[in-house]
Chain A
């Protein structure tokens, strides 16, 4: 039987099947039924006394958007509340330009922040882009790989600390926010308070956000690339100094402990030869 090697060829799709799918996919994923497609529907679909072929096609169009809008509304609740009815318009514009490209609805919103960055030009652009990034950080943490927690006590072992490669856990996303989105509940106007934050998944799988010191934020950002502690400190110190900080060894120790306690850091494990 056929395997991925492709030694045995599978039957090619029948022409009529391919034609129907190309036509129907275009006809269904639209906001309003294109009159040309309505006319063409007679070529592919049969009508009846109750419903003409274009009316039957319309049922699929009606069914397409609510499912997709609902899915994105779950991933972007603050944007939905901020925009109200405009949320549907933006989702439709997004998916018209960048249709779903994954079998999973979990991935539907992954390109939404980038789309808005390109298309959204309104007065509150900065806030909207920030909310989109913040909410997508929450959404993607729902399904990322679990990471192995580090043992806090082991940090007291200088050899372990100096020799291990550490990295940012896949369950933690450091973000710089210009607005206080963490405490914003949509009931009042969002405050313009610059915040360094980490959006993360805890051990009980809750998705949370927490503000952090600039120093810890800097360390976590650097740990997107695995590195040993000496290299990390060497890379972080000039960044912190240029921002007006003069970090002490105790600060690094505290930031490390906070990161490990919250599960924001993990270790890169070497493969045994």
Chain B
């Protein structure tokens, strides 16, 4: 896989923060956008995007590629994505290792995949095709899940690792999703972290979740919890300099509060890197 630059610490670009980000541009290393919200022909979002592009490196992160779908690849979607990538010129683009539609019906949710060797081959080939077409490295993100499939023959970390190796793509490691799935499926999150190929992890997501008692919901609507910060701290020495992004999609806090979380992530990284081995 091609080398990718270390971008530092970023946040998700959300409409609530547009005005603040333009008025007093804060020290944020980069921004991540939801690709589909900008795969448009015109309008306000596209106008804002041009303004942010002048100030920040912007990475497109998709939610609807549906790389694991049994459907054939959606070339109309890919054409729009390619246009967006050409506009932004990012070092990579990303989406999830999941499916979200079958036939013509979209669930608009990140649905997990069964983990089998056959599905590794199937998904990895599709990622290769997409990477070649977009002409940019792709990172695949682990999703949080609430189900496991009877047909699965391996753990999630093996599946993710083998897909990335066979597809020759990168990994966007969502630390919160690892925590959520570990709790929901009773596995050791550290085993997950230690098992994924170090050189392929190019970005982190960290986010908040909601404890529902009998399971953990990946809600992206809370501040990042201590247990996720702790897992992030464990990841730092394992993976080295990996670009990080704080993800918040619901109950979005003020920009200043989000930046406090970002600064906290930076401080953890500095302290961990500086600490003697």
Contacts and interface: CB of A to CB of B under 8 A. Distances in A.
Contacts of A16: 114, 116, 118-119, 151
Interface in A218-247: none
A14 B54 CA distance: 45
B165 to A, nearest CB: 17
Given A21-B102, A53-B147, A71-B108, 20 more contacts: A1-B128, A14-B116, A16-B119, A17-B113, A17-B118, A18-B102, A21-B99, A24-B111, A44-B149, A46-B149, A50-B215, A64-B107, A67-B108, A100-B108, A103-B36, A103-B74, A142-B44, A142-B45, A145-B41, A205-B47
Closest 5 CB pairs of A and B: A205-B44, A146-B42, A13-B70, A103-B64, A145-B41
B125 A10 contact: yes
B129 A59 contact: no
A10 B215 CA distance: 38
B109 A46 contact: no
B109 A143 contact: no
Contacts of A10: 72-73, 125-126, 129
Contacts, number: 146
Contacts of A121: none
Contacts of B185: 48
Interface residues of B, number: 55
Contacts of B84: none
A251 interface: no
Nearest to A66: B250
Contacts of A44: 149-151
Given A28-B107, A143-B42, A51 B114 contact: no
B116 A100 contact: no
Interface in B185-219: 185-186, 214-215, 217
Interface in B132-169: 132-133, 146-151
Contacts of B267: none
